[in-house]
Amino acid sequence: MTPFLLLPLAAAATALPGPPPQSGPGASSNPARAAADRLARIGHSAHGDSFDEGPRQRPWRMEGIGRSRFPVTTTVPEVQEWFDQGHTLLHSFWFFEAERAFRWCLKLDPDCAMAWWGMCRANRDDEKRAAGFLREASRRKEKVTRRERLYIEAWEIDHALDLPGSGDPPAGGGGGRWGGGGDAKRARFVEALERIVLEFPDDLEAKALLGLETMRSPSRIGAELVLQQVLAREPDHPGAHHYRIHDWDGEDGVVALDSCERYGRVAPAVGHANHMPGHVFSGVGMWHEAAIWMDSATRAEKEYMRRRQVFPFNSWNYAHNQNYLAYLQAQLGMPSAAERGARELLAAPLDPKHNDPDRDGYWVWREGFEALYRTLIRFERWSGILAPGTLPWRDRLEDRVRRAYAEGLAQLGLGRVEDAKERLAALKQLEEKVRAPGLAGLAEEYDVCWRELEGLIQLRRGETLEGLRLLSEGAARELKRREQDDDPPDHPRVVYGVLGEEYLKLDSARLAAAAFERALSKVRGDAFALAGLARAHAALGERERATECAGRLLHVWSGAEPGLRWMEEVRALGLDARPKDASPRPQRDYRTQVLDAFGPSTWEPCPAPPLAAADSAGATVTLEEYRGRNVLLVFFLGEECPHCMEQLKAIQGRSGEFEALNTALLAISGDPPAELAASEALGRLPFRLLSDAAHENARRFQAFDDFEELELHATILVDRDGRLRWSRVGGAPFTDLAFLLAEIKRIDAAPPPGT
């Protein structure tokens, strides 16, 4: 057998500093135990669990991400290029790809302290990994310049590392920025950044990072002034534009419109650089501009996924982009486009760790569900809501709340008051459960839902005062929730708009106008409120104001689908209205923009890379041979890997189920064909055994660690059309066979992507 266990790890030892040899009482003196320990580490990084996570393939020179320069101490000149790439990606919060660049720095120069510091910053949401990488930077800080050392020591404060030479331990205890430490620790960290700025006034990166750490704080004017200094020297600095956008995101977004217009053009290949301008443009009611930027963001993410064999559940901001785009398309009167985007997310590959709707990790699926739920209610698709299977409800508390609310509205919209009352009763039965500790957000949503639904039911029953009281309370609560989180909003419609519609039905046009204005005060340029306001002013005989509102509606809904009742009701007023844009700045028209340069409009599985491997008889095997069949491709590390054999035997036990799903089983390792043919253990398995002695196939399928030159376990699904549908690559083989079988069934039953 190929000595795969020893060679890759020996090579890796020259690439990165590994853990010190174990000695003393904790070391194993039993050779058999030591051998077992080595076998248990097959396929794992030689440097511990932290290196088993994160990217495993080398970086590439990325275009369209902007530029920044952060000089570091290194013995290898090439390191500076990769460090700058990683640092620039951090300015756009692209943490995964930033870590890839910093890992390559360490491959080239294991003692580069600032590369370890970069690894820390790239793991802002994983305190354990971040602190571990920072400790490695701290061990090397005596070898760098004073400027670099100050950066490392600032992050020691941020992550509450009590290290020799780093001063007194910070107040408030450990846990890093997101794990505790309190205001005192945070103040000391910001002060440390300020001192770098003071000592090195020409260091633009220190000012940019200070702007990042003080944005959205009571001193955000200070952050603005610091970031303006950066832009005065570097007008295209991606971090300064990005942090300004975050700093002013909300009602004051107009302050950062210049950065919104520039950031995505500076870094067009970065999804988040297109996403954040969409945030601000929506906040100021520039719906066309917001949709253009958010559509560009989704396309940039889809292009990245297509080119790099990345799945939606591994692309950190894609699902949020698509959900937000669906919200914006709805605001533009495009419910069919919004619904398509929502269903695209629901149809995306599932994953038992990252996208399983029956467990906690279901980010992509949840974003798709919320987009569909919001769109159907917003456009009063009552029959669709009640049709079985339209909304994929689960037996979870949050779904039971939303289902009772949505179906209650639908029954009411279809004139079935008694059926609506039954759904309200079902909703109220959940009250005790939603008020359990830890469910404050769901309780707030519940308090809006039941008031809105019961208020409408009371109005249909003729209980006008009680109905209006409940609706008014629900509207105020919903607006408060929207002020706290509008990203996009949880509740599917602005309840003040619902209240305005009810006032119109009661011939209380003045009160209706006030309610619609209240809705517009928070959701600027909201077409639904503008339509209501035009009708209210017309009912009051205020034709000029009605015409103005109708003109604004015609601009927002210039590309709206035909037949929307809100538009038809305004047209029936007979107003001589012309489209009018009341936005802070001129906008482009979303319909006319060609955004293909950013990437495709629809996510589709990317084509599988070429497979060219010899089977145990020496014959060349390709995926074309299996066109028309699904393929489960398992990269394993040889017969000596106990975990690999456990996985292969587990698949053997369910091979009949895979065969029933028209799925071929291929297992590929670095062993030569002759050794595969000679292995009795492997010969008993229901796999076609393939040889990948040079690891060329493993590299193409990302089943190889370029940093440590190490084979990895990989389990990959290729569909009958030769496209990648799912994969899991890492230090341990994947063994959740029930998931794989269910996902194959789901793939086979799904319509083609984009339909």
CA distances from 334 to 294, 340, 583, 698 (A): 15, 10, 20, 44
Does residue 683 contact residue 724 with C-beta atoms inside 8 Å?
no
613-749 CATH, one of 3.40.50.720, 3.40.30.10, 3.30.70.360, 3.90.850.10: 3.40.30.10
d(C-alpha 338, C-alpha 324), whole Å: 9
The mean pLDDT of 134-160, rounded to a whole number, is: 96
The mean pLDDT of 317-341, rounded to a whole number, is: 97
pLDDT band at 739 (very low <50, low <70, confident <90, very high): very high
Q: What pTM did the predictor assign? A: 0.92
CA distances from 752 to 155, 344, 384, 577, 605 (A): 48, 11, 22, 43, 10
pLDDT tens-place string over residues 82-103: 999 999 999 999 999 999 999 9
Give the number of other Cβ atoms within 10 Å of residue 388's Cβ. 6
C-alpha dihedral sign at 266, 268, 271, 275: positive
pLDDT at position 26, please? 39
DSSP 8-state secondary structure symbol assigned to residue 727: E
Instruction: Give bridge partners of residue 617 from the DSSP assignment.
Output: none
pLDDT at 32 over 60: no
d(C-alpha 486, C-alpha 481), whole Å: 8
Helices 204-214 and 182-199 pack at an angle, to 10 degrees, of: 160
pLDDT at 27 over 60: no
Q: Which residue's structure tokens are 């308090």?
A: 447
pLDDT tens-place string over residues 564-586: 999 999 999 999 999 999 999 99
The mean pLDDT of 365-374, rounded to a whole number, is: 96
Three-class SS string for 615-649?
Answer: ECCCCEECHHHHCCCEEEEEECCCCCCHHHHHHHH
The mean pLDDT of 163-188, rounded to a whole number, is: 52
Which pair of tokens denotes residue 310? 């990345």
d(C-alpha 221, C-alpha 223), whole Å: 5
671 φ, ψ (degrees, to nearest 5)? -75, 145
Does residue 738 contact residue 661 with C-beta atoms inside 8 Å?
no
Helix (H, G, I), strand (E, B) or coil at 467: helix
The mean pLDDT of 435-457, rounded to a whole number, is: 96
pLDDT band at 38 (very low <50, low <70, confident <90, very high): low
Which pair of tokens denotes residue 637? 């590390």
Within 57-94, residue ranges assigned H as helices are: 78-91
Kindly tell me the burial class for residue 632, based on how many C-beta atoms sit within 10 Å of its own C-beta (0-12, 13-18, 19 or more).
buried
Give the number of other Cβ atoms within 10 Å of residue 143's Cβ. 13
d(C-alpha 298, C-alpha 315), whole Å: 11
d(C-alpha 17, C-alpha 137), whole Å: 12
Which pair of tokens denotes residue 238? 């991606």
pLDDT at position 755, please? 57
CA distances from 234 to 68, 92, 377 (A): 9, 16, 46
DSSP 8-state secondary structure symbol assigned to residue 347: T
Within 249-334, residue ranges assigned H as helices are: 257-266, 271-283, 287-308, 318-331
As a whole-number percent, the residues of the chain with pLDDT over 70 amount to 91
Which pair of tokens denotes residue 494? 């602005």
Rg (C-alpha) for the chain, rounded Å, is 29
The mean pLDDT of 693-713, rounded to a whole number, is: 95
Nearest of 272, 244, 232 to residue 95 by alpha carbon: 272
d(C-alpha 358, C-alpha 739), whole Å: 12
d(C-alpha 134, C-alpha 121), whole Å: 9
> Which residues, 6+ apart, have CB-to-CB distance to 653 below 8 Å?
none
The mean pLDDT value of the chain amounts to 91
d(C-alpha 100, C-alpha 80), whole Å: 14
pLDDT at position 504, please? 98
Task: Give the architecture (CATH level 2) of 53-283.
Answer: Alpha Horseshoe (1.25)
Which pair of tokens denotes residue 738? 């029930």
Query: What are the extents of the domains in the chain?
Result: 53-283, 613-749
d(C-alpha 336, C-alpha 159), whole Å: 47
